[in-house]
Amino acid sequence: MWHGRPARVSSAPNTGGSPVPRYNHLTMETGTSHPSPQDTDWFREPTRREHGIAACLFIFFGLFFLALFVVVAGWWFRWVIAGLGVYSILHGAGHVRAFLRRRRGDV
């Protein structure tokens, strides 16, 4: 029957009449399941093709933001949009540089 309090765990030793349930506080093993870290390829370097795609996306989004800067004249937030456009174009230029570096084989 439920009385609004948790049931006492019967396998734990009784240390008095405390209504608080007792839990098994055994220590866990200190050994690790993987003794040596394994080399995972989760975060690999982007390929040349991926650098090219990223360069196109960032540069065209930057140009879109700069065009939007012109369209929303008279609104203070347009300066934030212009900043995002410039940042996007500069980030895209970094991807262009990585794209060209991979082309020459300078990795």
pLDDT at 96 over 80: yes
Contacts of 8 (CB under 8 A, 6+ apart): 19, 21, 22
Per-residue pLDDT, 69: 94
Q: Helices 78-104 and 48-71 meet at what angle, rounded to 10?
A: 160
Cβ–Cβ under 8 Å, residues 82 and 66: yes
> What is the per-residue pLDDT across 18-46, written as a single tens digit (0 to 9) for each?
666 666 667 666 655 555 666 667 788 88
Range in 5-9, 94-98, 102-106 with the lowest mean pLDDT: 5-9
Rounded average pLDDT over 52-56: 95
Torsions phi, psi for 4 (to 5 deg): 85, 10
Mean pLDDT of the chain: 80
Per-residue pLDDT, 73: 86
pTM for this one? 0.57
Q: How many CA atoms lie within 13 A of 49 on its CB side?
A: 0
Per-residue pLDDT, 68: 95
Cα 42 from Cα 71, distance rounded (Å) = 42
Residue of higher predicted confidence among 107 and 27: 27
